[in-house]
Amino acid sequence: MNGDVLLQNIINIFIISIILEASIMAVFSMSALKNFESTRPMEATRDAIIIIVSFLLCYKVDMLRVFLGTGMKIPNIIDIIISSLVMARMTNFIRTVMSRFKGED
């Protein structure tokens, strides 16, 4: 297994997840959406959008796959699913870090 390629693929996914979180945060921070009282449906919608966009990005862009070029023999669809879940988790991690910087809970 080529560890350097694996690390580079994870860094690529991390950079894209920062951009993905910034774009999703921009959509959900619009003043029209801030007036909703219940936050649970908004969080579920945000998570669903992140998972769908992550899957589509990993499906279309070969560079965003975790195991591509590492020498591991993994079926293509499983690599796409794992990559999209890693990207979604990194996006949620970035959201948590950004909310702590803002002072939100």
1-19 tens-digit pLDDT:
788 888 998 999 999 999 9
- The values of phi and psi at residue 32, to 5°, are -70, -30
For residue 85, the enclosing domain spans: 3-102
Long-range contacts, stretch 44-50, CB < 8 angstroms, 24+ apart:
47/88, 47/92, 49/24, 50/20, 50/21, 50/24, 50/88, 50/91, 50/92
What does the pLDDT read at residue 40?
A: 80
pTM above the 0.95 mark? no
Q: Locate all alpha helices (DSSP H) within the chain, ordered by sequence.
A: 3-28, 40-60, 76-102
Number of domains in the chain: 1
Task: Report the length, in residues, of the chain.
Answer: 105
What does the pLDDT read at residue 72?
A: 87
Q: Which band of pLDDT confidence, cut at 50, 70 and 90, is reported for residue 45?
A: confident
